[in-house]
Structure 1
Amino acid sequence: MARKIENRHIEKSKVKFPYFSILGVLLVVIFFTVLWRPLNLDRTVYIPLNPQVETTVNNTSVPVNIGEGQVELVDGNSNSTVIESSDEPEDEIVKDDLDKIIDEKDNTVQYTIVRGDTLHDILLRYNVNRNDVYELTSQFKQLANLRIGQQLMWTTDDDHNLQNLNWTISSNNIRMYEKSGNKFVENSETVEGILQEVVIKGEIKSNFIADARKSGLTSTEIGIITRALQWRLDFKRLQIGDKFSVILSREMHGDRLSNSQLLAVRFKNGSKDYYAVLADDGKYYDINGDSLSQSFFRYPLAKKARVSSQFNPRRLHPVTGKIAPHNGVDFAVSRGTPVLSVGNGEVVIAKYSGSAGNYIAIRHGRQYMTTYMHLDKILVKPGQQVKQGEQIGLSGNTGRSTGPHLHFELHINNKPVNPLTANLPIDEGLTGKSKNAFVAKVKSIKPRLEFNN
């Protein structure tokens, strides 16, 4: 009869646990999971507003266009997000007569130099092609010598390419820069211009636009007036019997009006008076030297959040090769984050609007418009007046979007600009010697704005 052999070493080898094999399998699974996750467009990542995302990321993210949307893969040093969205609302913002005046010269801009301006910053602020700005300022170094009060006028095509720029140095010295191929050609024009100071007065009999034109004001001059008082006076609320008085400096070349500068304006709206007077720094103030501007918040959130997609007006579609601009900034915030109005204004749209999802548009004065898209909830109504910092909605993932975020746009003169870098107005009045000089100027100019009984 066979004898059973007992060998402890043999028994142990039979029951040995395969630790290394299981560890190897786990490593392979983790490896493929890491590779697969960035391509899964259906997953949702919630990113809370905490100190780790207080700072806006640098340009280390790589945007990838997919169809009409954009996938943004953020640098691995932060929590990665994948967001695809389309930001085209179905509803257009209805324009009034004042907007149409601005649009009459949609591609031509007239600008007065103020303290701290450089040509580079001015043109980029108005969304002019960055390459054209670099080429022009590199070719002609003298354009760094802009002075307060000088006039610029430039024209772009529909793709924001700079076509020409005129620099009025003085009444009889104009430098003109015309694009030729990829370069610019300079011409100078020495002409004897005649400066005429005129006073124009009128009364509202139908509406401001019609009555201002009847009184002799040009569309350009009406635009300058409305921008000077846009934060103080609602021009749509002017009533029949209200009056206005304007002092202008006009530069004439023969019978041709080549340039206008608003020196002072007064409106009498019911029992209230509104003034705007030009100071030596090229800005307008009321008769007490207080600012006529309104300040803006840079961010529509209580705290700064990580930017998952940058402003890019010249983004190219990878398939069609055509420009598919991203006209705003995407903030990576979790669903339900409070969204704030960046300034005082009137809600003009508050509704669900196609691929933009729940969508709010707010008009601030005459020049500025902000929009907020893909909201989870809208907390305001069209026609409602909102204050700076007021909660208007909650961020979400509505419309064509695969991840919760806030798409925010800023438009100046009906053109989208980068809200993170745009030169926003500052609510700051005159002080010291500057204010004393201004008050003396007001004393001499105010009697000329009186109305005839």
Structure 2
Amino acid sequence: MRAFLSSKSLYLVSGIVCFSCVLFLLPATAADDTTLSTSGITDPDLLQLQPGEQKYQVGVSYELPLSKALVINNDEAPTDVEIAQSNLTHQTLIVQKGDNLSSIFKRGGFSLGLSYKIDNLGGDAHKLRKMRPGDAIEFISEGEQLMFVRYPFSRTETLVVSRVEGQFETAIETMELETRVNFARADIVSNFWNAGINGGLDAGLIMDLANVFGWDVDFALDIRAGDSFAVLFEEQYANGEYIKTGNILAAEFINQGDVFQAVRSEDGNFYTPEGKAMRKAFLRAPVNFKYISSNFNPRRKHPVTGKVRAHRGIDYAARTGTPVVAAGDGKIIRSGYNQFNGNYVVIKHSEIYVTKYLHLNKRKVKKGQRVGQGDLIGTVGATGRVTGAHLHYEFLVSGFHKNPKTVKLPEAQSLEGQPKADFIAYSQPFMQSLNNQKRFSLAMAN
């Protein structure tokens, strides 16, 4: 019996010990079902509840608060424009030899009628007629409908054709350019053109420089080895990339020891630093010629007839078709043809000055028409009694023939009074910069 009781006591003690261990190992929050765990609760109303209380009732709907992390930021949401753009398709076509607007539209999958519709807009839309092989044209569509056409017709300008409420409109996008100032200087060894290229000038800037000083310097006949030039000019950039050359700001040309200087005014005209106009009333030569085939000579032997007869002008040899321009402002008093002069034009500039242009291939003006200096009046030819293509140019003063190469040309109007004083002050920083750059360039060369 004692043994039996001992076994029962042993089992009882073991059970008590096991139960105590379980109670010890359970979390304190689970020991009392009336104690509410607050771990992870952020609602202050729930934290203030007493045992047995409840905030929500079964069968009643309540607004569900969302975590801030789940709320969409309106600033980051896609806009209507972004949604619309995401539905656009882009294709860029390269213009091929023989392409025209309709063939390019067809290659892009668009109808011939659509190309006609855009071409008939006229104005800027006609730039599409001037596309050249290698140019790119971009088509932007929404589904099957063409929305935009983009054609960059220069490095800085793009034609944009847009569909607006079912109709097409044109606009020109112009790239914003940054202007920088550059400097170049060179000595002439063989000719002005080569010196310009060696000095880092492009073809356009070389011609601009010749035009600035062309009233004082004959760039075909007067240039000598040892002449030099210095020029301060603009360059234009977009996004750090060079785009093109801008205006000449100030320049100097030394020809056979004579120093000529010019500064560009705010109105685009050039004056000496003292305000004297660089522009003369007449161009020294009205054509871009290769050489003078016959000078002004009162007793020249005619190359065709062999007779001694005064040559009252200068013959400028040039290729047939080379443009001939008016030497100065005036009125066309003759434009015709005869067997000796061929096609010819005569311009009256004032009661004192008259110029004549003979042996033209084609005449581009009519009698009675007014022209300005530099306007096209014809092209070089070999019409009339001649031995080869050239322009015969005469310059008359009060009815008397003068040598066009040496005649003293009247000057254009120079600045006077306050405008002159203002320009002199305006020109000084440009000339100072030009001279400083020139000294630095010469020091580096030595």
Shorter-chain TM range is 0.3 to 0.5
Q: TM-score, normalised by structure 2?
A: 0.38
Q: Which has the higher contact order (CA 8 A, sep 6+)?
A: 1
